[in-house]
Amino acid sequence: MKIPKFQYIAPKSIKEASSLLKEHGEKAIAIAGGSDLLLNLKNRLKNREFLIDLKAIPKMDQVTFSKTEGLTIGAMATLRDLIENPVVRENYPMLVQAAESVGAPQLQYMGTVAGNLCLDNRCYYYNQSPWWHAGREACWKLGGKTCYVVRGSKTCWATYCGDTAPALLALGAQIKVTDPVRAKMMPLQELYSGDGKEPNTLKAGQFITEIALPLPAAQSGGAYMKLRRRQAINFPLLGVAVNIKLNGKNNTCEDAKIALTAAERQPILIEEASKLKGTKLSDGAIAEVLEAAHNKAHPLDNLSGLPPSYRKQMVKIYLVRAIKQALQAAQQKGR
Ligand SMILES: Cc1cc2nc3c(=O)[nH]c(=O)nc-3n(C[C@H](O)[C@H](O)[C@H](O)COP(=O)(O)OP(=O)(O)OC[C@H]3O[C@@H](n4cnc5c(N)ncnc54)[C@H](O)[C@@H]3O)c2cc1C
Ligand code: SF4
């Protein structure tokens, strides 16, 4: 099936790109690696007259590390750029775990970090061909007035399924968002609207130019675990990211961040993880946090592969495993 005709524009600067996106509003969309967007255009899930390619903008793919500032990832850096970068591998191994779990190497070479963060939400009743859709009334995400997943709902519940967002949330990421007038840094969680139809909060003319991570703490470690049917080319049916910082003196938890993906309409940062501070991360200490994460996860019957009840049950199981792995990593780093 062919992609509908569009006008391709490759601006040479951030300002030019944001001005074009602002000028053309809903008729335009930014394209990075195209590994999500092109399929959606082909399937007529999105219709745009103008594709604004961010690739020709110089230095947008750079990954730089400073021992005082931490890591800066250019929005156009590919997932492979992270996976193959020795500094990222050494300092942010959880991010590498998450990037390596995306699709397959071909997708990691094409797919960018910002594209992964801005991935459209997914639903069995949405990610289909035009022929499949022709047989039934359009749902909310396609401009209709019904939902096939949550019957009677007045809103769309399509699920956010990106792999790197939970890892970046657990690592405390900030993103730089640019519009034609200014650029601002904001916490990654503010990118997500919680609406399945329009999952991100970016307005016309805005796009991500950078992702920034703080320096990893001396005795810290992380783990990303992904539940899927096959060990390749499968979106997550659940993803959990855990980042733990230990107190070197008494080996208690000094800070903990936990995030989930494929469990809601946006990646979820579990704020209750802060209750782990000062504990030894024993079964008793983590029980309350596991319960909070379990309660916040609302997997629905809109992703093929495993039933929602099983995916929900796996939240606690995967978190226990990820906490154990993150703890081991933090202890090893402290040696
Ligand atoms: C078979 C298959 C399997 C896949 N498996 C996985 C998987 O397991 N896990 C996973 O996470 N993903 C998966 N993907 C999705 C996709 O390949 C990746 O998420 C990839 O990182 C998307 O990046 P991209 O640069 O190709 O994005 P694009 O397709 O170029 O863009 C995706 C969206 O992001 C927006 N966007 C891009 N850059 C910016 C920016 N700088 N600022 C604002 N908006 C921007 C675009 O406008 C578009 O809406 C899979 C895709 C396929 C086809
Ligand atoms: S959750 Fe409902 S409205 Fe959203 S894409 Fe699926 S069927 Fe459509």
Residue 334 has pLDDT above 80, yes or no: no
Predicted pLDDT of residue 331 = 93
Determine the pLDDT at residue 248. 84
Q: Establish whether residue 34 lines the binding site of ligand 1, counting it when its CB lies within 6 angstroms of any ligand atom.
A: yes
Please tell me the distance between residue 129's alpha carbon and the centre of ligand 2 in angstroms.
15
Averaged pLDDT, 218-231: 95
Instruction: Indicate the residue type of 47.
Output: N
Question: Please, which pLDDT band fits residue 304 given cuts at 50, 70 and 90?
Answer: very high
CA distances from 279 to 83, 256, 329 (A): 33, 11, 17
220-334: CATH topology: Enolase-like; domain 1 (3.30.390)
**DSSP one-letter code for 27:** G
The helix/strand/coil state of 72 is strand
pLDDT at 307 over 80: yes
7-20: per-residue pLDDT in tens? 999 999 999 999 99
Q: Relative to the alpha carbon of 227, which ligand is closest?
A: 1
In this predicted structure, what is the pLDDT of residue 1? 81
How do residues 32-72 score in pLDDT, each as one tens digit? 999 999 999 999 999 999 999 999 999 999 999 999 999 99
**How many CB atoms are closer than 10 A to CB 87?**
12
Q: Is the dihedral of CA 209, 202, 140, 48 positive or negative?
A: negative
Cα separation, 98 vs 246, in Å, equals 22
28 lines ligand 1 (CB under 6 A): no
Q: Give me the pLDDT at residue 135, please.
A: 86
How large a percentage of the chain has pLDDT more than 90? Answer: 94
CA 154 to chain centre: 25
pLDDT band at 153 (very low <50, low <70, confident <90, very high): very high
Domain spans of the chain, in order of start = 220-334
| Residues 93-105 as b or e (16 or more Cβ within 10 Å = b) | bbbbbbbbbbbee
Tell me the CA distances in angstroms from 324 to 222, 225, 237, 280, one per residue in order: 9, 12, 21, 12
Mean predicted confidence (pLDDT) in 110-135: 97
Ligand 1 close to Cβ of residue 199 (< 6 A): no
The number of the ligand 2 atom at minimal distance from the alpha carbon of 147 is 2
Tally of CA atoms within 13 A in the half-sphere of 334 that contains its CB: 20
pTM, full prediction: 0.97
Q: Is the CB of 162 under 6 A from ligand 1?
A: yes
